[in-house]
Amino acid sequence: MPDQPVTLGPWPYATGGLTIALALALSWGARVDHLRARHAAAHEQTRRDYQAAQARAQADFDAQIAALQSHNRRLNDAAHQKSQALSIVYRDRVIRLPAAPIACAARSAGLPTPADAGSADRSGDDPILLERTDALICATNTARLEAARDWALGTQDGP
């Protein structure tokens, strides 16, 4: 064979191409790793922000509950005091009522007689007989109901 110059042929190009491909693959891999790390960091930041928002919302909720409980305690105390004060006033009024005359007392210690039953269409102006203990119970219940009404109206206003 004649002397031919020794040439490397396509090997330098192939080696260069492989080197470029390897460099691109490494840089692409580094970029993907960088993107994954950035995504993980962003995800972690989002989780921290979410947990902080939940903590703030829970703190706001707890503060509202505490304010509502405080408001209800004040309303309950006011209703209790009003009930006691009105009960004293109403009981005093009942005690100051004069006793019914003997003529108005029931003729027998049993049930009313049919003659006692009047028309159901009365004006309501006629006096009724009521035992003092029953009147005291009514006075206490009236005081409680008035205080409960004021309490219920106070709960509508809110804290």
* Chain segment 54-69, per-residue pLDDT in tens: 999 999 999 999 999 9
Domain limits for position 145: 17-98+130-157
Instruction: Read off the tokens for 95.
Output: 């005690």
| Residue 111 forms part of a structural domain | no
| Residues 129, 135, 141, 146, Cα dihedral to 10° | 80
Has residue 122 been placed in a domain?
no
Per DSSP, the three-state class of 108 is coil
Confidence tier at 13 by pLDDT (50, 70, 90): confident
Higher pLDDT, 152 or 110: 152
Cβ atoms within 10 Å, residue 20: 10
In a domain, 71, yes or no: yes
Q: Is the pLDDT of residue 112 over 60?
A: no
Please give the tally of structural domains in the chain.
Answer: 1
Q: Do the Cβ atoms of 82 and 147 come closer than 8 Å?
A: yes
Q: How far, in Å, CA of 151 to CA of 145, rounded?
A: 10
In a domain, 107, yes or no: no
Q: Is residue 116 part of a domain?
A: no
Q: Is residue 42 in a domain?
A: yes
Residue 5, in any domain of the structure: no
DSSP summary character for residue 9 = T
Is 103 part of any domain?
Answer: no
Q: pTM of this prediction?
A: 0.53
